[in-house]
Structure 1
Amino acid sequence: MKWKNKVVIVTGAAQGIGKALALAYGEQEARVVVADLHIEACEVVADAICRDGGQAVSVATDVRQIQAIENLIQQATEAFGTVDIMINNAGIGRWKSPYELSMEDWSDVIATNLTGTFLCAREAAKVMKAHKHGGSIINIASTRAIMSEPNSEAYAAAKGGIVALTHALAVSLGSDSIRVNCISPGWIETGDYEALRVVDHEQHPAGRVGRVSDIVKACFYLTDADNDFVTGTNLVVDGGMTRRMIYEE
């Protein structure tokens, strides 16, 4: 397996896309560091990987705090010796009118989604550089970086920042053999997929709503060492929705 014994850190791994990514890399025999603010849920994911014969540890991590991120990287290296892949998935949203969005709400979203992504990428890159083996960093952005619904200003700004941060880091870190890419998911259903309506699927050019497995496959592609010519890219995984022109009649 291509990821056997690779050390993979996933933030926001207690649920949703992050959980799916952690479990998927565990199935590929990677050594997984499950990071999230909610340690009990982290432990559930890590335990599931270990029960299936994999290797995993859980680390309580608030990506808004540099000390917590430094601790995450330290725990990863103490447990597994290095860091090969860093997946920055942790994120939150505040869906409020721009007239009502408080400074606290704005700052919390930017700190979690954008600043946290930068700091995690930087600290992981330090290990990759020091160990002289390079590595891969994946930042989870969103199609809201390039299209919007009302009342999503903080989230859109943070995700747009992640896209720009990704290509900046790719250029800065390339000489250290560190590739940096991002994925912009569209509608990825993390709940009851069977409860979706026909119209939910039909509005997508691909004919269906996305599954977490679609993001897993995108991550596998971008973290595959054979794809070493791919860096600085934003891979949009949205069933074609950002390419569909829609007018109201």
Structure 2
Amino acid sequence: MGQFDGQVVYITGIARGQGRNHAIRFAREGASIIGIDAAGPVVDHATYPPATADDFAETITLVEAEGGQILARQGDIRDLAFQTEVAAEGVERFGRLDHVVANAGILTWGLTWELSEEQFSDVVDVNLVGTWKTLKATIPHLLKNKDGGSITIMSSVAGLKAMPAQASYSASKFGLRGLAQTAAKELGPKRIRVNTVHPYAVNTKMGLNDTSAMKAFEEWGMHFPSLLGHYPVASLDDLTDAVFYLATAKAVTGAEFQIDMGHSKV
């Protein structure tokens, strides 16, 4: 018996990192997965390697190796028609939707007045507007579920504590808090809970292989400490554990769940 037997989860950004780990572990616990990822370059100003089509295919293989069923489609979360179609296709195939994990996002670096228009607009459009499109595409299906459901939005510690050289990223992640709080108030009476997760450094290519991040830490290091020097980087399972908790915690909605090694308190 798995913790999520017979349930269905919609996850964005499944090609690698957190999204892949969520998909694998939900499948291990008996859930069916509806997953999307651009699986290629989303913007030309990111300074970490993008996910690839091979990453995307590997996620499908890994989910199926756990005995899980998965409907995976390659596309951009900024495309509302695409997300609407995938959500409907997944519900038609699996019969229901129980949980949404809005995980996809991008990051760019630069001082507020030096960012290009594209650096600011692209990040807000993917992280904030794209997540709203995820909710718009999936909430109608959650509302049909008599058992209710959950939405977990991956924000960031930068959505709690603004960081230097991250104007567009911090703005988008602060915006996700407002989106989640509004949705939590609207959906609570419908038995759908909405929460945000706020990681700091995570063991992903976006988290650890970003050349601009290293330069920012050198120049702005006073803004980047945590309280757990012995545990500087969260594991993928640390994040999935939080997602699992929020998917099952019947008394928790509107929460802002920190997986940040205490960084937001420094």
Establish whether TM, by shorter chain, passes 0.5. yes
Which amino acid in the other structure matches residue 252 of structure 2?
A: V
* 2:212 pairs with 1:211: no
- 1:84 is aligned to 98
Aligned runs of 1:177-216 on 2, under 5 Å? Answer: 177-190=191-204, 204-205=227-228, 207-208=230-231, 209-216=233-240
User: In the TM superposition, what is the alpha-carbon distance from 1:43 to its structure 2 partner?
Assistant: 2.7
* 2:197 pairs with 1:168: no
User: In the TM superposition, what is the alpha-carbon distance from 1:19 to its structure 2 partner?
Assistant: 1.0
User: In the TM superposition, what is the alpha-carbon distance from 1:101 to its structure 2 partner?
Assistant: 1.6
CA contact (8 A) 2:80 2:137 kept: no
- 2:42 is aligned to none
Specify every segment of 5 or more residues in structure 2 that has no aligned partner in the other structure, as ranges: 40-52, 208-224
Whole-angstrom distance in 2 between the partners of 1:203 and 1:132: 42
Whole-angstrom distance in 2 between the partners of 1:103 and 1:206: 36
CA contact (8 A) 1:59 1:75 kept: no
Query: How many residues are aligned here?
Result: 235
Whole-angstrom distance in 1 between the partners of 2:100 and 2:187: 14
Whole-angstrom distance in 2 between the partners of 1:125 and 1:132: 13
- 1:25 is aligned to 26
Whole-angstrom distance in 2 between the partners of 1:206 and 1:178: 37
TM-score scaled by length of structure 1: 0.88
SS of equivalent residue, structure 1 residue 158: helix
- 1:237 is aligned to 259
TM-score scaled by length of structure 2: 0.82
CA contact (8 A) 1:9 1:86 kept: yes
Whole-angstrom distance in 2 between the partners of 1:134 and 1:68: 24
- 2:159 is aligned to 145
Structure 1 203/240 Cα, relative in aligned 2: closer, same or farther at 3 Å? closer
RMSD: 2.1
User: In the TM superposition, what is the alpha-carbon distance from 1:206 to its structure 2 partner?
Assistant: 6.9
Aligned runs of 1:103-122 on 2, under 5 Å? Answer: 103-122=117-136
- 2:112 is aligned to 98
SS of equivalent residue, structure 1 residue 130: coil
Whole-angstrom distance in 2 between the partners of 1:133 and 1:123: 19
Aligned runs of 1:122-133 on 2, under 5 Å? Answer: 122-133=136-147
SS of equivalent residue, structure 1 residue 95: coil
Structure 1 41/85 Cα, relative in aligned 2: closer, same or farther at 3 Å? same
Note the alpha carbon deviations across 1:158-178, whole angstroms, 9 max, x for none.
000111211110001111111
Whole-angstrom distance in 2 between the partners of 1:240 and 1:206: 10
SS of equivalent residue, structure 2 residue 150: strand
* 2:36 pairs with 1:12: no
User: In the TM superposition, what is the alpha-carbon distance from 1:82 to its structure 2 partner?
Assistant: 1.7
